[in-house]
Amino acid sequence: MNATSLYIHIPFCSRKCLFCSFVIAVGQEHRREEYVAALIGQIGETFPTTLKTIYLGGGTPSMLNEDHLEGLMSAIIKKYPLLQGIEITIEANPESIDRAKAKFLKALGFTRISLGVQSLDERYLKFLGRTHDALMAREAYGILREEGFVNVNVDLMYGFPGQTMEELQEDVHAIASLGSEHLSLYNLTIEKNSRFFAAGMELDDGDYQAKQYVFIGRALCERGFEQYEISNFSKPGFKSAHNINYWQGGPYLGLGIGAHGFDGRRRYWNISNLQEYIKKAARKEETVEGFEILSDEQLVMEKVLFGLRMNEGIPEAMVPLNRRPLIQAWTKDGFLCSKDGKLKATTKGRLVLDELSARLI
């Protein structure tokens, strides 16, 4: 099998942000030891492979202590060959980064940090329920730089109710001025399992959010970023190899509660209950909650849909014959463009790509 990516979900958080609908565990820090032990027990039990990327996401993976992280990485290195130049990412919130932690992560082999900044506007950090302020975010970023990290992603969120274009411009400028190699863009959405949903939060209209999205894209490109996917921007040479593997339909392993995995045909997802996961893993019982086997048509359509998210697009020949009339109509209407045998989404098309994708399925 070709080289594979590994995703490990670390669910622990000090609190739940108001927009969050992810699989997380608040106030469960006392379970970190047994959860890490459960993960270590499962490492290497899946199909044999060489790893090309490793990604610790969450949650807040940087809440794990040195023993936890060292145990995880040691188990991975023992069980899997690593591709030369492997990308190893860990997500971190600013409040969990100090000099000792940054120094340790660097020594342990992490090559990339994804820092959950979200905004440098104090008003919106409080609105989101974040536990850091703008100063903490800047200090954490500075520490990572001083400790030698040369590949840092920062998250930027937009679309807050009532957010003016002037506020957005200031936030984009402030975050871009940090000087990161990569930026992940998130439009605030109201998800069913979030506290915003429970409170009946409403967002600004779609046209205004589209205007914000277009502005951000232009502003980031003016500051040296290249947009390579609908929500991802990077400096030359710093695209996220882990996420590109997802978008190109590559195989990946998923460990931890709520994590997904894919072997090229079969997609599976793990149980989402922390205590149940720990108990089953300790007993060497199955922790996969469900799976689906994708047909040839489903595999092709996923490559089409994910490929259209990327700026490089897809070969036109990849589109199934029965979907080509829709593609031709959308090209005529300016949502897609065709050049040198490649089909790509235009800026207009990116604004409604989810809707187009739903119709294409």
CATH number at residue 335: 1.10.10
In this prediction, residue 247 has a pLDDT band, given cuts at 50, 70 and 90, of: very high
**Range of weakest confidence among 138-147, 199-208, 222-231, 257-266:** 199-208
- For residue 291, being part of any structural domain is answered with no
Give pLDDT, residue 17: 78
Share of residues in the chain with pLDDT > 70 (%)? 98
- For residue 114, being part of any structural domain is answered with yes
Burial class (CB in 10 A: 0-12, 13-18, 19+), 293: exposed
| CATH code of 220's domain | 3.20.20.70
Q: 205: which DSSP letter?
A: P
In this prediction, residue 203 has a pLDDT band, given cuts at 50, 70 and 90, of: confident
176-191 tens-digit pLDDT: 999 999 999 999 988 7
Give pLDDT, residue 46: 67
Q: Residue holding tokens 């392993």?
A: 253
Distance CA 51, CA 66 (A): 22
- For residue 183, being part of any structural domain is answered with yes
Q: How many domains does the chain have?
A: 2
- For residue 327, being part of any structural domain is answered with yes
User: Which range marks the domain in which residue 320 is found?
Assistant: 296-360
Given 186, 220, 247, the domain boundary residue is 247
Going by C-alpha positions, the residue among 243, 239, 233, 247 that lies closest to residue 185 is 233
Can you tell me the mean pLDDT for 23-30? 84
In this prediction, residue 212 has a pLDDT band, given cuts at 50, 70 and 90, of: very high
Q: Is the peptide bond before 59 cis (omega within 30 degrees of 0)?
A: yes
34-56 tens-digit pLDDT: 999 999 999 977 666 899 999 99
Report yes or no on whether pTM surpasses 0.85.
Answer: yes
34 and 137 together in one domain: yes
209 and 308 together in one domain: no
214 and 143 together in one domain: yes
> Which residues, in sequence order, are bridge partners of residue 339?
342
Going by C-alpha positions, the residue among 237, 89, 104, 209 that lies closest to residue 154 is 89
Give pLDDT, residue 274: 94
CA dihedral 203, 178, 121, 193 (to 10 degrees): 40
Q: For the chain, what is the largest distance between any 2 Cα atoms, rounded to a whole number of angstroms? A: 58
- For residue 273, being part of any structural domain is answered with no
Q: Give the sheet arrangement for strand 152-158, strand by strand.
A: 226-229, 232-234, 182-187, 152-158, 112-118, 82-92, 51-58, 4-10, 252-255, 260-262, 266-270, 288-293
In this prediction, residue 268 has a pLDDT band, given cuts at 50, 70 and 90, of: very high
Structure tokens at 276: 């149940």
3-state secondary structure of 56: strand
Distance CA 162, CA 166 (A): 11
Sign of CA dihedral 69, 112, 246, 20: positive
Given 229, 247, 265, the domain boundary residue is 247
Is the Cβ–Cβ distance between 8 and 256 less than 8 Å? yes
Bridging pattern class, strands 82-92 and 112-118 = parallel
240 and 312 together in one domain: no
Q: In Å, how far from its chain's centre is CA 178?
A: 20
Distance CA 183, CA 175 (A): 9
